[in-house]
């Protein structure tokens, strides 16, 4: 009886140890995963059109992060409305990790800029571009998250509707150009030239047959003359004295 209780106790301890081991592994994996995600906040001056959660962040054309949340809030200092954009960077953590690569990009003068929305999906992305000199922001942190500097130049991106309007205007310009007097006169000139070429071809067809017949007759006469000359020269080669006494 005592031995059975011992086996039961040992089994419980083993199961408990395995459970603790699994919980510890899960905790350390979560901690490791969270260390690989660097959270920053961005404030843009211009339009945020096309930007949404899950929008990607690119550096040199490669995805290195994504937008996690966009919210609207108030800046109590300036009494203005702000739209903080929360982003996460994918950072590789290794043993002997000394420098934060995101911090290095900031120190090298890289800033965040919103790209033009995709014409098909309408979704925009954030790209890190080099500004030349490090940008110093007034605030370093926002709600305990570091702030990533953004470009100071606000570019007006062309929306899909504006692109369609420009395309429609271009088609109207092409239509007006086709209906213009110059194009009409050019088309009429081409038609007149085509008629002239057709008339010339018809005249050639009418005159070619007599010309070919005349050439055939001339070639026959030349052939006969050449044959007669050949016979005469052959006769002279055999009877040269005929030049003196005439042909017999």
Is residue 45's pLDDT more than 50?
yes
Q: How many percent of the chain have pLDDT more than 90?
A: 24
What pLDDT sits at residue 2?
Answer: 56
- Per-domain residue ranges for the chain? 1-35, 37-157, 181-243
DSSP per residue, the chain: -HHHHHHHHHHHHHHHHHHHHHHHHHHHHHHHHHHTEEEEEE--SS--TT--TT-EEEETTEEEEEEEEE--EEETTTTEEE--EEEEEE----TT--S-HHHHHHHTTEEEEEPPPPTTT----EEEEE-SSPPPPS-SEETTEEBPPB-S----PPPHHHHHHHHHHHHHHHHHHHHSHHHHHHHHHHHHHHHHHHHHHHHHHHHHHHHHHHHHHHHHHHHHHHHHHHHHHHHHHH-TTHHHH---
Summarize pLDDT for 202-223 with one digit per residue, the tens: 766 666 667 677 677 777 777 7
Is residue 184's pLDDT more than 70?
yes
pTM above 0.75, yes or no: no
Is residue 122's pLDDT more than 70?
yes
What pLDDT sits at residue 32?
Answer: 47
What pLDDT sits at residue 85?
Answer: 96
């Amino acid at each position: 009886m005592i031995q059975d209780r011992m086996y039961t106790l040992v089994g419980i301890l083993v199961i408990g140890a395995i459970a603790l081991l699994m919980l510890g592994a899960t905790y350390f994996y979560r901690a490791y995963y969270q260390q690989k995600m660097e959270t920053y906040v961005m404030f843009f001056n211009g339009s945020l059109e096309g930007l949404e959660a899950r929008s990607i962040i690119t550096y040199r054309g490669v995805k290195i992060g994504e937008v996690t949340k966009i919210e609207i809030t108030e800046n109590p200092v300036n009494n203005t409305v702000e739209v903080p954009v929360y982003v996460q960077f994918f950072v590789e953590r290794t043993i002997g990790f000394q420098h934060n690569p995101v911090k290095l990009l900031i120190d090298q003068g890289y800033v965040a800029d919103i790209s033009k929305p995709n014409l098909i999906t309408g979704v925009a992305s954030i790209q890190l571009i080099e500004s030349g000199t490090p940008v110093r922001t007034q605030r370093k942190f926002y709600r305990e998250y570091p702030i990533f500097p953004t470009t100071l130049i606000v570019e007006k991106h062309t929306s899909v509707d504006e692109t369609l309007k420009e395309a429609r205007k271009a088609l109207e310009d092409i239509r007006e150009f086709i209906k213009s007097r110059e194009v009409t006169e050019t088309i009429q000139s081409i038609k007149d030239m085509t008629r002239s070429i057709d008339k010339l071809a018809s005249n050639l067809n009418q005159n070619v047959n007599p010309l070919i017949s005349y050439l055939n007759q001339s070639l026959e006469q030349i052939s006969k003359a050449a044959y007669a000359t050949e016979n005469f020269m052959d006769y002279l080669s055999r009877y040269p004295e005929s030049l003196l006494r005439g042909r017999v």
